[in-house]
Structure 1
């Protein structure tokens, strides 16, 4: 079935979905994707759900999937790392997202190749959607604060570089939190605005009761098509220019930037190693190295690694053994995650985890939850984190500016002044 005005239909569909306690929207924003199947997915209402904490969460998900073998949408928190490795998380958690949450929807609508399909539910829901009146909302300025000062950020980067000098790590992804307390927002309106300012191929709106993820993620964590696994880590960022000629130069310079290539190849090696744990022998390969992709605010360097899943290994174990995404940790992975816990000021929780779906066939697709607003409507706490790869060659001041560049669409979406802590 063709949709006359896709933009309006998506807005109506999401407004209808948001009346339920649980819903998930995944939107490719029309980006070309050699590995994607759906342009848009909307899962609405929880027919069944699983909420699991670190300890045996992956086994619980495996049992849940084997019991139902249905469409499932959900969240994998970064802190599931503690189940994968002997690690811990003790930094303050002000959002309290579940470590793992998946639901089987009451209704599932998808758009692929421009055609609308109802996978779960009947055609009566289309009438409910098209009769939904879009409400006008007035956006309020949200005053954003930094969890750490610029001086503390720069000092931490230099400490992390000392760990590199000492041989503890080669690279680490260090992140900082921006937040707002007493923030009253309309999550759906904010998501629409963020998606308008920064449309990305792995954007998502995820609601679990009073908790929201408003994501403008450009990064795929892991995709399964048949027995093939695909991971596409991002490492390498350059600010875009509104001047067309200058923009082309920026793109060309990023493509040949030795520092950015060094950061990227470290994570490519890490992801190759992660996929090897569950791959058929000799099947891990790099499909693309140092690909340059354009987004509204930035160019990103993206590599693509693939493998064939060993037929004797469950696909949930492929997720577990490659989690969390290497681009958000560093190398060596375990030591990098220990240093992240030591030097960051906030628990990551849902941030740098993954959001996506499992299909009845065993196929799946998950993003990396970055460039995303996390919101707890009960406590009115709003948060987003940004970070980058810290290597010996990096310049602390440049890394700070890159953080602000990555945060800029969110800050612009929320419109508030950016306050530094005293």
Structure 2
């Protein structure tokens, strides 16, 4: 592909580009919203059109993805992995229905790749000038949209409490130490007049480091994820599990108090430490021996609607392994399962009453220089336009010290930005 740099106003250009992209069946947008650290690579990246596609369901998805990826060295390949791929990795199954009908894995080689920088864009395509001119001629995306439908919880309060107590009993028996119990919120006969505009509004309401928008024909992913699942930078692997959540305060003093309480809360600290140990164990399967380390422990980070406790675990990657093997060795994210991982996943399947699908999976990219970066799919709307089915999940960790009312409320706190974007109240 050719490459060209153009001077432009980035915000207006993105609105034009999203409107122009509607003519394509495949679109992917990543935005970091200014959250940058030493591992950051992408600020704002738009991939449009599919020269080649990979789509698979549970079976041999990881091996087949590696074959697909190996055909396109030195190219960007964005896509997603469903949580249900756990059933390919371990002896697990999922009996819940799949109304969204997303594939379990999807990746594509873009026809056009656009890097949006401050006051300039870099376009990679067969004809960058033609692409730039076409976008410049497009109208700005209309950022207004309508959502019709009624969002309902799949699990009411009494049913959630029953599931909570059942998992708590397993913890008391020693079957597990922690489980991430999730619940679905869904709308049938749902219609979103402009998924692109809904994404922009959610991103405005809840800007996060791993925000993404994916369109694959009639299926849309609208994500405001704050969590990195796994990144590769050179020969280094980085995972940044989130465990520990507190709501934002009504004023500066209350907000600081809630933040301080999170930092010293024994239950939240225990959650994080358990998952850090799980991630360390997962990474040892892909690491040069002796290189796994916790480089940040129990960091407190503030987002628009919540404070989060985030730790960072890293290692030097075993050079004999393929990228897809490394991802498979750590998938799905331990922050969304519990510990021990396999036992927790089995119990979550038993007591949750919906299929997670893409939720708890990963969205990200393999980059042209051999790196990769994937988020954890949380705070995310999944929408099948043809089926008129819209869904999102929230979850929270159950430990021996957890209280059902607090964890139930945390699920609704995590849902607040999405409900606001859909202008729904529960």
Q: Same fold (TM over 0.5)?
A: yes
Q: In the alignment, which residue of structure 2 is the partner of 1:49? A: 53
Q: In the alignment, which residue of structure 2 is the partner of 1:86? A: 91
- 1:155 and 2:193 correspond: no
Structure 2: distance between partners of 1:253 and 1:90: 39
Contact 1:286-1:306 at 8 Å conserved across structures: yes
1:130 paired residue among 123, 129, 136:
136
- 1:145 and 2:152 correspond: yes
Distance 1:359 1:166, change over 3 A: same
Q: In the alignment, which residue of structure 1 is the partner of 2:29? A: 25
Contact 1:23-1:208 at 8 Å conserved across structures: yes
Contact 1:142-1:416 at 8 Å conserved across structures: no
Question: What do the CA deviations read for 1:223-277 (whole angstroms, capped 9, x no partner)?
Answer: 1011101001100000111411221222122111111110001000000001100
Matches of residues 319-358 of structure 1 in structure 2 within 5 Å?
Answer: 319-358=327-366
Q: The residue matched to 2:328 in structure 1 has which SS?
A: helix
Q: The residue matched to 2:373 in structure 1 has which SS?
A: strand
Contact 1:200-1:216 at 8 Å conserved across structures: yes
Q: CA deviation at 1:339?
A: 0.5
Q: For structure 1, which runs of at least 5 residues remain unmatched after alignment? A: none
Q: In the alignment, which residue of structure 1 is the partner of 2:71? A: 67
Matches of residues 5-404 of structure 1 in structure 2 within 5 Å?
Answer: 5-69=9-73, 70-112=75-117, 115-121=120-126, 122-136=128-142, 137-185=144-192, 186-404=194-412
Q: The residue matched to 2:424 in structure 1 has which SS?
A: strand
Q: CA deviation at 1:139?
A: 2.3
Q: The residue matched to 2:78 in structure 1 has which SS?
A: strand
Contact 1:39-1:113 at 8 Å conserved across structures: no
The farther-off stretch of 61-70 and 160-169 is 61-70
TM-score norm. by structure 2 comes to 0.95
Contact 2:8-2:120 at 8 Å conserved across structures: no
Q: CA deviation at 1:68?
A: 1.6
Q: CA deviation at 1:416?
A: 2.5
1:410 paired residue among 403, 418, 422:
418
Contact 1:3-1:9 at 8 Å conserved across structures: no
TM-score norm. by structure 1 comes to 0.96
The structure 1 segments of at least 4 consecutive aligned residues displaced by more than 6 Å after TM superposition are: none
Question: What do the CA deviations read for 1:331-372 (whole angstroms, capped 9, x no partner)?
Answer: 000000000111111111111111111023321011111100
Structure 2: distance between partners of 1:57 and 1:24: 21
Q: The residue matched to 1:269 in structure 2 has which SS?
A: helix
Q: For structure 2, which runs of at least 5 residues remain unmatched after alignment? A: none
Structure 2: distance between partners of 1:79 and 1:362: 26
